[in-house]
Amino acid sequence: MAGLYIHIPFCKQACHYCDFHFSTSLKKKSALVNALCKEMILRKDEIPGPLQTIYFGGGTPSLLDAEDLQQIFKTIDSHFEVTEAPEITLEANPDDLTEAKLKMLAESRINRLSIGVQSFFEEDLKLMNRAHDAGEALACLLLAKQYFDNISIDLIYGMPDMSDARWQENLDQAIALDIPHISSYALTVEPNTALQKFIEKGVVKPMDDAVAQKHFEILLAHMEKAGFENYEFSNFGKPGYFSQNNTAYWTGKPYLGIGPSAHSFDGNTRSWNINNNPKYIKAIEANVLPIERENLSTTDKYNEYVMTGLRTIWGISLEKIEQDFGLKFKEYALQQAQKHIEEHLLFLDDHRIVVTKKGKFLSDGLASDLFLLNLS
């Protein structure tokens, strides 16, 4: 089983915190869709087995129209094997989800929406420079539920001046709407973003790690009480609603990334496309793949497995580490984990190393302590 990721690099406007690749000009949308389809044909033999997940990310994939989607799906059907019931997700912004757009998406092959709500409060949305307002966030979800059962929303915590009470109200609103999946992230300051410049100029307060940790603890408690499983550090799903795409990524399944800046992984090689729309289109039109590739060493693969696995409820398997990477890697992982086990940040469960609830907010740091740098 494998996944297909399709990057749609267009947005109506730039969010202040975003460092993803996108363009606010839609002039090259048609040429870009043609290039996406051509890249899929050029790379159709790169991933093994049928597609279990197809994910439209961005950018803002909800800017695609019916003809764009039809062209893309026709290419997929002609050149890839697809499972009988694939999960097909489209990321969408609330301001795009009119009833006409939702009806069109529901009539297409899309069967899951991931909606970038981020907050139900106007002050948060203005700080982030989101294209929608609080009213549109609520209205689009009420409408989307009439057309889709499998819906996820994004919520951001740890923002300047976001009180504990306001964060709890955000979560209460999502729970009241009976949304079955929530992805939630701390606001981070990425280099060369508008948010970084505002903080440097004193326009926006700097991020406070203590606030983010408190908000994460509130998030865990609220989600658990509402019947959600925290199956990956940032992802919460009700039974039957775990994202197959997210799960595949965090458990190391192969995926093919199509489009400018898209990344791919086949278990042995990591690759990424150029992050420039005109250069990407020009290269693909000339039958040239604008890709950089990195062959992963055994140590790279081990570190990748630790990094992704420790973020999940399944943790990392000592048996898999020994089988895939060798005994010395298993012994090293156990040795490095021991102090964190004694501190109740990690625990051993049936030959697996798993992060405790106490250790969840520190999971990336815990993973880095298990990384191996000197062996190959």
Packing angle of the helix pair 327-342, 318-325 (nearest 10 deg): 150
Is 44 within a domain?
yes
- Predicted TM-score (pTM) of the model is 0.93
pLDDT at 376: 46
The pLDDT of residue 14: 65
Report yes or no on 358 lying in a domain. yes
Q: Are strands 235-237 and 229-232 parallel, antiparallel or unpaired?
A: antiparallel
Together in a domain, 92 and 240? yes
Residue 294 CA neighbour count, 13 Å, CB half: 12
CATH label of the domain that carries residue 216: 3.20.20.70
Query: Does 210 lie in the same domain as 310?
Result: no
Q: Is the pLDDT of residue 201 over 90?
A: no
Question: Where do we find the tokens 């009539």?
Answer: 107
Domain contains 275: no
Which pLDDT value is given to residue 18?
A: 65
Report pLDDT digits (tens) over 238-283: 999 999 999 999 999 999 999 999 999 999 999 999 999 999 999 9
Per-residue pLDDT reduced to its tens digit, 107-133: 999 999 999 999 999 998 888 888 788
Instruction: Give the per-residue pLDDT at 20.
Output: 61
Co-location of 135 and 11 in the same domain = yes
Q: Which of 20-24, 172-176, 257-261 has the lowest mean pLDDT?
A: 20-24
Q: Is the pLDDT of residue 160 over 90?
A: no
Residue predicted with more confidence, 330 or 132: 330
- Strand 291-295 to strand 316-317: parallel, antiparallel, or no bridges (unpaired)? unpaired
- The residue with greater pLDDT, 187 or 152, is 152
Same domain, 237 and 322: no
pLDDT digits (tens, 9 = 90+) for 27-62: 889 999 999 999 999 999 998 889 999 999 988 899
Same domain, 340 and 240: no
| End-to-end alpha carbon distance in the chain | 28
**What would the two tokens of residue 102 be?**
């939702």
241 and 307 share one domain? no
A 10 A CB-CB count for 86 gives: 20
Structural domain span for residue 125: 2-250
Domain count, the chain: 2
Pairing, β 235-237 against β 255-258: unpaired
For residues 53 and 193, state if they share a domain: yes
- Average pLDDT of the chain to the nearest whole number: 93
Asked if residue 138 has pLDDT above 90, the reply is yes
Is 177 inside a domain boundary?
A: yes
Q: Which residues contact 68 (CB under 8 A, 6 or more apart)?
A: 29, 33
Instruction: Kindly state whether residues 10 and 154 are assigned to the same domain.
Output: yes
Give the per-residue pLDDT at 105.
Answer: 98
Q: How far apart are CA 162 and CA 166, in angstroms?
A: 6
Q: What three-state secondary structure class fits 96?
A: helix
Q: Last residue of some domain: 217, 250, 283?
A: 250
Report the distance separating Cα 142 and Cα 166, nearest Å.
21
Cα–Cα distance list, 119 to 57, 113, 157, 193 (Å): 20, 17, 9, 20
For residues 258 and 281, give the distance between their C-alpha atoms in angstroms, rounded to a whole number.
12
Find out whether 258 and 5 touch, Cβ atoms under 8 Å. yes
Please report how the helices 298-309 and 318-325 are oriented relative to each other, as an axis angle in degrees rounded to 10.
Answer: 160
Instruction: Please provide residue 236's backbone torsions phi and psi, each rounded to the nearest 5 degrees.
Output: -130, 125
pLDDT at 374 over 60: no
User: Rounded to whole angstroms, how far apart are CA atoms 240 and 161?
Assistant: 35
Asked if 217 and 329 sit in the same domain, the reply is no
pLDDT average, residue stretch 299-323: 96
